[in-house]
Structure 1
Amino acid sequence: MTSSRLAHRTLVAIAYVLMLAPVVMVIMTSFFRDEIVSFPPSGLTFRWYFNAWTRREFANGFLLSLQVALIATAIGVAFGTAAALALSRSTIAAKSAINTLLLGPLAVPGIVAGTALYLFYLKLENRLDLDIVGTLPGLIAAHVLLTIPWTVRVVTASLQGLDTIAEEAAANLGARPWTVFRRVTLPMLRPGIVAANMFSFIQSFESLELTLLLVGAGKTTLPVAMLNYLEFRMDPTLAAVATVQILVVAALMLVTDRFVKLSRVV
């Protein structure tokens, strides 16, 4: 093995260690017996998992996060896929500006976006005399702003490697535009759309900063419920909840990669 290859592998190994060390530490902490985390621990236990299971705010937060993430993903992926197709196939002069606008939420810090949406919702409430802040529709609308940029980004990347010969052949054989899209274009975009669903769901499910100011009393998502718990307790219960989140996300990525190779579209 040459010295350059050894150095490359060493750097890759260090990068993996730096990325995975916090995850491993959270998982390890969730089994510590002591209420105040200390090293080395006095023993191991599943107590904190049972404690998290019995606390209603975590269960309710998980269900609300799941509901919001599923609905926001369905809406955002549909609109984002349509936007990616329109931008990739159009020749309008403002295409670059529109693409930048759609990807803008990825560059804005979550707490800034959440504050801006909160103030915007307050103005809408005054104008329309409707309750928006703290409602499920308002929260879903905010999370759609997270899912659309990810969809546009992933689907656009998938479209760049798409061969249009099959679409042209179907059109030449008499297929209508909708038939070409449904039977040719959409199946070829399936890897990108599946990846967009996965990334959009994860971003919505784990969103804290954007959600913090938009939830109502008694209706908090799981990340907000974890933050509220942290204000009063410092035991490893949160590490147990975070471990479950890590396992859910890891399982989702493994299942997605089983049917769609993420390395081809990401």
Structure 2
Amino acid sequence: MSIAARLHPSRWLYLSFVWATIFFVLVPLATTVWVAFFSNKILSFPAEGYTASWFGQALTLEAFRSGFLLSFQVAIGASILAVCLGVPAAIAIARHEFRGREFINTILMSPLMIPAIVAGTAIYLFYIEVQIRSDVQLVATVEGLTLAHTLIAIPWVLRLLVASLSGLDPAIEEASLSLGASRLTTFFRVTLPSIRPGITAGVLFGFIASFGDLEKSLLLVGPGRITLPIAMINYLEYRTDPTIMAVATIQVLIIAVALIVSDRFVRLGRTF
């Protein structure tokens, strides 16, 4: 009897659902990459021919170049800040029992639960209130946008670091302390090297979360400053050629590389 014949009907149903989900996720991505090579000047099916010229046009447009640079700058800054905040938070949550621990963990993870447009609006109103009370401008500044994107990155960084700490035997740290090392020395010489893969993956995943954000950026960017997702939306208002698909393909490629590198350090399937 073949393996297929031995499968229980419920197993068949499960496998069908899995493959249908994979198909539902991958087909739009594959279609985006495919259409990016169409020679059609207006997006339409079937393809009149194939060309890679749209990628060259995407690289020559100032809006996309400046949008990419701003998105990259903000994503790098946000991921680094998120790791700086996430490391002590993850150690406190994973290693210590204290009153309010679950509440703090929930607060730090809340950006995943709140709709992005609602969070963006709340941050915008908060920035306006800060400017009114202290005359410090955060709206329409790179610094304000970076701080807002840090909130996006923190939950992912925290989750990866807690997962890394859960795989680290506390006895190793206790042995270091019992041999006379201070807590600071133990952190830098024992804990930090052990969770370095999680930190690296946290930086990369924080970068991914920030780089692809649209909703918060829409409310917080200033005149003359747009992120790559906003540049793509603006382009679609006036043109419908495959250039936008070429930009999307480049963006997907960057995120895919970051995900592959992240999975190299921390097996994401065991974390999420």
Tell me the TM-score range normalised by the shorter chain.
Answer: over 0.9
Separation of aligned partners in 1, 2:137 and 2:102 = 36
Separation of aligned partners in 2, 1:120 and 1:166 = 43
Can you give the 5+ residue segments of structure 1 that lack an aligned partner in the other structure? none
Deviation at 1:13, TM superposition (A): 2.5
From 202, 208, 213, give the equivalent of 1:207: 213
CA contact (8 A) 1:195 1:262 kept: no
Separation of aligned partners in 2, 1:113 and 1:169 = 44
Deviation at 1:89, TM superposition (A): 2.3
Separation of aligned partners in 2, 1:149 and 1:255 = 19
1:239 aligns with 2:263: no
Separation of aligned partners in 2, 1:77 and 1:221 = 22
Paired residues in the alignment total 266
**Of 80-89 and 211-220, the range deviating more from structure 2:** 80-89
From 4, 7, 32, give the equivalent of 1:3: 7
Deviation at 1:130, TM superposition (A): 3.0
From 111, 117, 125, give the equivalent of 1:111: 117
Deviation at 1:131, TM superposition (A): 2.5
Deviation at 1:159, TM superposition (A): 2.1
CA contact (8 A) 2:157 2:206 kept: yes
Opposite residue 14 of structure 1, the aligned amino acid is A
User: Structure 1, residues 170-189: CA drift from partner, whole Å, max 9, x if none?
Assistant: 11111111111111111221
- The residue that corresponds to 1:156 in the other structure is 162
Can you give the 5+ residue segments of structure 2 that lack an aligned partner in the other structure? none
Separation of aligned partners in 2, 1:263 and 1:3 = 25
- The residue that corresponds to 2:174 in the other structure is 168
Q: Secondary structure at the match of 1:210?
A: helix
Q: Secondary structure at the match of 2:235?
A: helix
CA contact (8 A) 2:198 2:265 kept: no
Separation of aligned partners in 1, 2:176 and 2:20 = 50
From 186, 195, 198, give the equivalent of 2:192: 186
**Of 152-161 and 56-65, the range deviating more from structure 2:** 152-161
Q: Secondary structure at the match of 1:219?
A: coil
Instruction: State the superposition RMSD in angstroms.
Output: 1.7
Deviation at 1:31, TM superposition (A): 1.0
Separation of aligned partners in 1, 2:269 and 2:197 = 10
Deviation at 1:9, TM superposition (A): 3.9
TM score, norm. by length of structure 1: 0.94
Separation of aligned partners in 2, 1:172 and 1:92 = 23
**Of 26-35 and 2-11, the range deviating more from structure 2:** 2-11
1:55 aligns with 2:61: yes
Opposite residue 205 of structure 2, the aligned amino acid is F
Separation of aligned partners in 2, 1:161 and 1:46 = 46
Deviation at 1:118, TM superposition (A): 1.1
Deviation at 1:46, TM superposition (A): 1.6
Q: Secondary structure at the match of 2:254?
A: helix
Separation of aligned partners in 2, 1:38 and 1:230 = 15
1:66 aligns with 2:72: yes
TM score, norm. by length of structure 2: 0.92
Separation of aligned partners in 2, 1:167 and 1:109 = 39
**Of 130-139 and 65-74, the range deviating more from structure 2:** 130-139
Q: Secondary structure at the match of 1:249?
A: helix
Separation of aligned partners in 2, 1:200 and 1:102 = 14
User: Structure 1, residues 6-57: CA drift from partner, whole Å, max 9, x if none?
Assistant: 5544433222211101100110111111122222111111222122111001
Q: Percent identity?
A: 47
Separation of aligned partners in 1, 2:176 and 2:129 = 50
User: Structure 1, residues 75-123: CA drift from partner, whole Å, max 9, x if none?
Assistant: 1111011111112222222111111111111111111111111111112
Deviation at 1:260, TM superposition (A): 4.5
